Structure 1
Amino acid sequence: MSVTSAARPRTRRKEPRARFTTGEIVSMVVLTALVAVVAFPVLYALLNSFRGYADITRDPMGLPTSFSLDNYVRLFQDTDYGEAVLNTLIITVVTIVLLLAVVPMAAYGIERIGGRLSRVIYLFLIAGLMIPFQVRMIPLVKGMNEVGLYSTLTSVILVHLGASASFGILLYCSFIKTVPVEVEEAAYMDGAGPLRTFWSIVFPMLLPVTSAFVIIQALLLWNDFFIPLVFLDSTSAGTINVAINRMVGLLTSRWELVYTGAILAVIPSVIIFMAFQRYFIKGMAIGAVKG
Structure 2
Amino acid sequence: MRANPVRGLVLAVYALLIVVPVIVVVMGSFKSTEELFASPFGLPESFSFANYGTVLGEQQLDQAFLNSVMVTLASVLLTLLLGSLAAYGTARIPGWKGWLIFGFLVLGMSVPAQANMIPQYVLFNQLGLLDSRIGLVLINVVVGLPVSVFILGGFMKTLPREAYEASSIDGAGPLRTYWSVVLPMSAPSIAATAIFLFVIQWNELLYPLLFISSDSKKTIPLALLDFQGEFLTDYPLLFTGVVIASVPMAVAYVLLQRYFVAGITAGAVKG
TM-score (norm 2): 0.92
State the shift of 1:129 in Å. 0.8
Indicate the residue corresponding to 1:97 in structure 2. Answer: 77
* Residue 57 (structure 1) shift: 5.2
CA distances 1:85-134 after superposition (whole Å, capped 9, x unpaired):
00110111111211222111111112213466544432222211111101
Separation in 2, partners of 1:254, 1:95: 31
Aligned to 1:155: 135
**What amino acid maps onto 1:226 in structure 2?**
L
Contact 2:158 2:267 in 1 (8 A): no
Instruction: Please say if 1:88 is aligned against 2:68.
Output: yes
- 1:196 deviates by 0.9
- SS of 2:66 mapped into structure 1: helix
2:256 alignment partner in structure 1: 276
Distance (whole Å) between structure 2 residues aligned to residue 209 and residue 73 of structure 1: 39
Cα drift, residue 62 of structure 1: 5.7
1:142 alignment counterpart: 122
Q: Calculate the aligned-residue CA RMSD, in Å.
A: 2.1
- Letter of the 2:106 counterpart: I
Equivalent in 116, 138, 149 of residue 169 of structure 1 = 149
The aligned counterpart of 1:193 is 173
Indicate the residue corresponding to 2:30 in structure 1.
50
Q: 1:258 to 1:56 in 2, by over 3 A?
A: same
Identity of aligned residues (%): 34
The gaps in structure 2 that reach 5 residues or longer are none
Segment of structure 1 superposing worse, 105-114 or 52-61: 52-61
Q: Which residue is 1:288 aligned to?
A: 268
1:81/1:237 contact within 8 Å kept: no
Q: Give the corresponding residue for 1:9.
A: none
Secondary structure, counterpart of 2:57 in structure 1: helix
1:174–1:290: 8 Å Cα contact kept in structure 2? no
TM-score by length of 1: 0.86
Q: For 2:245, which of 246, 253, 265 is the aligned residue?
A: 265
Q: Distance in 1 between matches of 2:128 and 2:256?
A: 38
Asked if the contact 1:171/1:209 (under 8 Å) is kept, the reply is yes
Please say if residues 92 and 98 of structure 2, whose CA atoms lie closer than 8 Å, have aligned partners that are also in contact.
Answer: no
Check conservation: 1:80, 1:237, Cα contact below 8 A: no
Task: Specify the alignment match of 2:236 in structure 1.
Answer: 256
Quote the residue 1:133 is aligned against. Answer: 113
* Match of residue 59, structure 2, among 79, 90, 97: 79
Shift of 1:58: 5.9
Question: Is the contact made by 1:175 and 1:209 (CA closer than 8 Å) also made in structure 2?
Answer: yes
Aligned residue for 2:102?
A: 122
Q: 1:162 to 1:181 in 2, by over 3 A?
A: same
Separation (CA, whole Å) in 2 of partners of 1:182 and 1:55: 65
Equivalent runs, 1:59-70 vs 2, <5 Å: 63-70=43-50
Q: Does 1:217 align with 2:197?
A: yes
Aligned length: 271
